Amino acid sequence: MKKLLGFVALSLVFYSNPLIIKDSKADLFSSPLEICMDRVIDGTFNGNEQSAGAAAKICQGADKSTIKCMDRVIKGTFNGDKQSSGAAAKVCTGN
């Protein structure tokens, strides 16, 4: 029974792993800045990695609460439009 419970718990960990979730480049050890930059590049700059400098400037000062703030701002203000990630990052970081 303990093995079965351990297997179920381990399966849930792998199921909710950010590496497996679609459109997620973040892994378990990503910094909030890296997560913010990935979201801004994918949404605002249409995946153009050459815009990493601009994304870094927008996301400067990002912390753990920035990602939650971005989710709320995008959902509430921009009606779920992921292309507004840059604007949400500016609002949430104060840049």
Q: Using one digit for the tens of pLDDT, what is the confidence trace for 14-66?
A: 665 555 554 455 555 678 888 888 888 888 887 788 888 888 899 999 988 88
Q: What is the pLDDT of residue 26?
A: 53
Q: What is the pLDDT of residue 85?
A: 86
| Phi-psi category of residue 79: left, alpha or beta, with phi > 0 → left and psi -120 to 50 → alpha | left
- Per-position b or e across 73-93, b if 16+ CB within 10 A of its CB: bbeeeeeeeeebbbbbbbbbb
CA-based radius of gyration for the chain:
16
DSSP 22: T
- Kindly report the pTM of this predicted structure: 0.64
Q: What is the pLDDT of residue 8?
A: 80
> Distance between CA 1 and CA 11 in Å, rounded?
15
**Are the C-beta atoms of 37 and 7 separated by less than 8 Å?**
no
Q: What is the pLDDT of residue 38?
A: 87
